[in-house]
Structure 1
Amino acid sequence: MIAFVIVNVIFCLSFLVFAYLNFNDPDWYLWVPIYVAVAACCGLAAYGMYYPNVYLGLTAFYLIYAVKLYFDKDGVRDWIVKYRTPSLVESMKAEKPFIENTREFFGLLIISAALIIDYFVVVNQGLV
């Protein structure tokens, strides 16, 4: 159980840093709450407060949004098919909007994975 606490502390701190780094984005009003919500869930889980229904609700929202980003114009599908998966670590440019959409897609998958891990640990351990 100590590993669960450590992982959640790491997730919480990481997602808070990600939220902070998103303040300079044009769509910060969307991404800061996304990262703060998952950071709060992980932080509360580290302190023994579990909300599996919230984990499922947030995960559903994040995965639906990820599907949208996948199929958007210049989304993940275009990154794979049209652009042939160029590097995502280069700087953002107006002529390469697929980089931002693909990064956001993978960010949503990461935070969804953190919530799903918490959900299954909490439910399987009978913590609620």
Structure 2
Amino acid sequence: MLLTILNVIFCISFIGFAYVNLNDGDSWLWVPIYLVAAGLCGLAAIHFYYPLGYLIAISFYLIYAVRLFFSKDGVLDWIKVYGRPSLVESMQATKPYIEKAREFFGLLIISAALGINYFTTLI
């Protein structure tokens, strides 16, 4: 029951995240990222599980997260060079390191949600 509730929450959240990314310049990338996660969580909420789908999506998301972490003005620069300024100060991310850090943490959230589903299919 708890897993179903979590998946409904994740599904709705990821659909909302996809919606707010529609006006971004890179919406071609982020809308599908969030919609794939929303779809997999939505299916899990109605007890359809796709372990291979979770692994493929998690692999893509984590590889992309590593890329964002080490890229120029990425998460590592956000920490070391810029001193970790607030990610929620303004919703308009005018600085590339803020945008990349937000994207990085979004990918980790998606990966965690799908990871929960994957590991529950093993039990």
TM-score normalised by the chain length of structure 1: 0.92
Aligned mates of 2:50, 2:30 — CA distance in 1? 21
| Amino acid corresponding to residue 84 of structure 1 in structure 2 | G
CA distance in 1, matches of 2:79, 2:9: 31
**Paired residue for 1:83?**
82
Matched positions, count: 121
Over residues 10-54 of structure 1, what are the superposed CA-to-partner deviations in whole Å (9 max), with x where a residue is unaligned?
100000000001001100000000000000000000111110010
User: RMSD over aligned Cα, in angstroms?
Assistant: 0.7
Aligned to 1:116: 115
- Are 1:65 and 2:78 counterparts? no
What amino acid maps onto 1:88 in structure 2?
L
- Give 2:25's aligned amino acid: P
Aligned residue in 1 for 2:30: 31
Give the 3-state SS of the residue equivalent to 1:24 in structure 2.
coil
2: CA distance, partners of 1:114 / 1:55: 9
Aligned counterpart, 1:101: 100
The alpha carbon displacement at 1:90 in A equals 2.4
The separation in 2 between residues aligned to 1:33 and 1:85, in whole angstroms, is: 28
Letter in 2 for 1:74: D
Give the CA deviation at 1:84.
0.8
Larger Rg: 1
Q: What is the percentage of aligned positions where both structures have the same residue?
A: 62
Question: CA offsets, 1:29-83, max 9 Å, x none?
Answer: 0000000000000000011111001001100000000000000100000000000
Question: AA paired with 1:111?
Answer: I
Structure 2: segments with no counterpart, 5+ residues: none
Alpha-carbon distance between aligned partners in 1 of 2:41 and 2:101, rounded to the nearest angstrom: 24
Give the gaps of 5 or more residues in structure 1. Answer: none
